[in-house]
Amino acid sequence: MASGFFALLDDIAAIMDDVAVMSKVAAKKTAGILGDDLAVNAEKASGFISSREIPVLWAIAKGSFFNKLIILPIAFLLSAFFPVAIIIILVLGGLFLAYEGAEKIYEFLFHRQHKTTDLTMPVYTEAEVLSMEKEKIKSAIVTDFILSVEIVIIALGTVIEEPLSTQIAVVSIIAIIATVGVYGIVALIVRMDEMGLKLIAMSTKERSISKSIGTILVKALPKVIKSLSIIGTIALILVSGGIFAHNIDFLHHFAEQLPSIVKEFILGLLFGFVVLGIVNLFKKMLGKNNSNSLL
């Protein structure tokens, strides 16, 4: 009896060890999208008055949890009854991520907006502020849904050959880590300037360590968000290229002499600009048809 109990404990320990190992692999695979998710949400949650930053971020985080509650069961059902759909969704998602990355690069190179010298801030009513806040939250949750689909599918793709119980455990862990980790870091980022202002206020001397650190934190916030945006764009290209290289047999054996990171970046960039070209062409055709109908 006792030996059977200890054998059961040993089996549970082995399963947990497998889950831990597979979770590490899945975390590495999804790290790129998590970087983009972090950059996007840091940008979405900033720009509010200090008292509204955390409530807005909490609303987005709750939306993210709800997104994953919808996505996870569907992903597990597909894995159990139609596993080919996982690969199809991965590739389609890869095309979307590649397009997003290419679009950001294209906008940066050809549509950079010049800085204006008008420093006057528009005045909004309370109703307008609340409306803008709701729209920003809604936009962030929609973006999170798309990124969450990719996080779940990529994590699931790493354990697709494992038993369903292992799939559920690993992907659920990644989903929880993704939400708590991303929004926890975002909370620290958006409150960085507030923390800096408090350190400055605490200082009684003209030159002090707390005042210097506070000044650095206040000045660093916009630079941190901008840096995350750049890192997120590179991550989009690399993640999408990795999806193509690992899930399309021809591309898996393409240019094998190149380092994997270089190969994945090239693939992501090529596919991204091809999709971007198709989308832009479609937009132009749609615009011409609309103008012709008006005439």
Collapsed DSSP state (helix, strand, coil) of residue 26: helix
Q: From first to last of its 295 residues, what are the pLDDT tens digits of the chain?
A: 445 433 433 444 444 555 565 566 566 666 666 666 676 666 666 666 666 777 888 888 888 889 888 888 888 888 778 878 878 887 887 888 888 888 888 888 887 654 444 445 456 666 776 787 788 788 778 777 877 887 887 787 777 777 777 778 888 888 888 788 888 888 887 777 778 888 887 777 767 787 788 888 888 877 877 777 787 788 778 878 888 887 787 887 777 778 888 888 899 999 999 999 999 888 888 776 665 665 5
CB 147 within 8 A of CB 70: no
pLDDT at 116: 46
Per the structure block, which two tokens stand in for 212?
């210097």
Phi and psi based region of residue 207 (left: phi greater than 0; alpha: psi -120 to 50; beta: remaining): beta
CB 282 within 8 A of CB 254: no
Buried b (16+ CB within 10 A) or exposed e, 174-194: bbebbbeebbeebbebbbbbb
Rounded to 5 degrees, what are φ and ψ at 114? -75, 145
CB 253 within 8 A of CB 107: no
Helix H segments across the chain?
2-45, 50-81, 84-110, 126-158, 164-190, 192-202, 209-247, 249-252, 260-294
Q: At what angle do helices 84-110 and 209-247 cross, to 10 degrees?
A: 130
Per the structure block, which two tokens stand in for 43?
């940008």
* Prediction pTM value: 0.67
Range of the domain at 154: 2-114+123-294
The domain total for the chain is 1
